[in-house]
Structure formats: C-alpha cells, structure tokens
Structure 1
Amino acid sequence: MTAVAPSVEYGQLEIVPVYFDDLDAMGIVHHARYALLFDRALSGYWGRQGYEIGAAQSEDSFQAVRELTLSYLAPIRRTGEIAVHLWLNHLGRTSLEYGFRIRSLDGATTYAEGRRAMVRLDPASMRPTPFTESGREALGRLLRPAAEQD
C-alpha cells in the first residue's frame, strides 16, 4: 500500500519501489542503484505521459546521458517504497538537465540528490538533434520555476 507522499511545489513526485536485490551485503541500497531509482521514476512519469522507449511516436525519448552527479546523504536501509522528486533545471534546443531528490515517503529524509544531463540524438546519425515542439511542451511541464531555457 502506498503511503501519502508529500506534495512538491514544482516538477513531479514519483513513488518507486526498492527491491531486495537493490540492497548490498550490508542491507543498504547499493550506491549504483540510486541512479536506477531515478530511472524508475522517470520511466513511470513518462510512461503515463504516453512516451514509450523505442516507439516511433516517442522520438524525443531517444536520448543519451551526458553527465550524472549524485550526492549520497543518508542510506536507504529497507525495501518498500520511496519518493523521487524530479524536475528540469534546464531545457535547451538539443539537451536538458534533470534535477532530482530521492526521499522518504514522508519527506523527512533526503537520501540522495543529483542532476543528470541528457542529449537528444538522431537515431540514424547519432548526432544531437532538436526536441520536437510536442516534446518541448511535455518537457516544459517539468521545468523548475525560473529555470533557464534557450
């Protein structure tokens, strides 16, 4: 059963599972799994927006990670559900930068925070290509207030 998670002023709050196999030998979430928790949140959010990885109608989802930074603030010591607050710090012509916080459901603990820069690629040339207008509109809903756009 999902607990009621705190609301957020901008972006989106996604509830994601922490599974037994996310834990390391010490019983805490392995450091590499924090990026996976963020991916689970993104997949859930964009899936509900109608975007599907590999689908022709989801051309804007053909993106590559350019950079990922994570700060680990507190260990996640159990399985169950956690909250991932995600938003956009920047939306450019061919790139974007997500910001995120991985938190307890009650919002009292922030386990990690970070950012991830992505570049939209043309599938044929594998070169950066601009987001479509519909993609920019969908992405714009996640922009943090006063976030820069170019």
Structure 2
Amino acid sequence: MPASTEAQPFFHRARVYYEDTDAGGVVYYVNYLKFMERARTERLRSLGFSQSQLACEDLLFVVHGSEARYLAPARLDDELLVTAEVVEVKRASLRFVQQVRRAADGCLLCEGRFQIACVRAESFKPRAIPEVMRDAFRCSGLPAVGE
C-alpha cells in the first residue's frame, strides 16, 4: 500500500444528474451524503489506498456517526466540489469534515462531519488502522492523536 506525502487540499468533482434531484428540481438531501462518501473514498485513493484492496486485507471503513447541515440547493447539471479533510486519526477511527460547494460560484451548499470506524471485514469488529495508513495522514499534515 503506497502512501503519498503531498500536503494539499483535497476535493472531488461531482456532477448533479437528473436522478440526484427531487420533485422540486434540487438535489435530494440524502444524495449529498453519497457525494461526500465518494469524496472520502477518493481521498483514501489519493493516499494510495483502494477500498477493494483494503477489504482483501480484512479492513473496512464504516460510518459510525454523521452530521450534515444543508445551506443552499444544488440543481441539475451543477458541478460540485466536495472536500474530504481528515481532522483526527485515532487508533481505530477517523474523523472527516466535508463541504460541498457549487464549482461555478463557490457557494457552500452542504457541510458534514463523519466519524469513520475501522473494522475487520469478516467480523465487523474494531481493528487498528494500519500504521502505513496513519503515516500517510500524518504526512498530509495531520497530527495523530489517541495512540
């Protein structure tokens, strides 16, 4: 599992499709959670870790807690910029802070906080985040806590 050492802001680009909208023509609220999930997955990938490879190594990340605030609507065909910033790494969990912005004007549409637990793929019991992964987050500018 290679790890990148570049410290830079991370964002994932997404597009709003018809299937993402509700009867009012705006993004259905739960779809913001999907956009943020994809950004977290891509954040891990940017550090050299794919979800499929981690599952083969008996490691999964699962959402343990979530919080979202909706500030403005996104609409059909909007391009979105979704951040995925890890603000805390503990022995068996990560905490992400995320934002969804409209690319055209930078308007903040939604923000969220997610507690992500590291578990064994077979049993769903907690397990330690591998040191190489914790090192990747440290090298991206994040101090490790809770060790």
TM range (shorter): 0.7 to 0.9
Structure 1 residue 50 displacement after superposition: 3.3
1:69 to 62, 67, 70: 67
Give TM-score, length-normalised by structure 1: 0.79
Greater than 4 Å deviation, 4+ residue runs: 141-144
Aligned-partner Cα distance in 1 for 2:145–2:105: 29
Number of equivalences = 140
Question: Identity, % of aligned pairs?
Answer: 24
2:13 to 7, 12, 15: 15
Structure 1 residue 107 displacement after superposition: 5.5
**Paired position in structure 2 for 1:117:** 115
Give the partner amino acid of 1:24.
Answer: D
Cα pair 2:63 2:114 within 8 Å, conserved: yes
**Match status 1:54 vs 2:55:** no
Structure 1: stretches of 5+ with no match in the other structure: 1-8
More strand by share: 1
Give TM-score, length-normalised by structure 2: 0.81
**Paired position in structure 1 for 2:145:** 149
Q: What is the RMSD computed on CA atoms of the aligned residues?
A: 2.5
Aligned-partner Cα distance in 2 for 1:143–1:65: 23
Change in 2 beyond 3 A, CA 1:95/1:114: same
Structure 2: stretches of 5+ with no match in the other structure: 1-6
Please show how residues 37-116 of structure 1 align to structure 2 within 5 Å. 37-55=35-53, 59=57, 62-106=60-104, 108-116=106-114
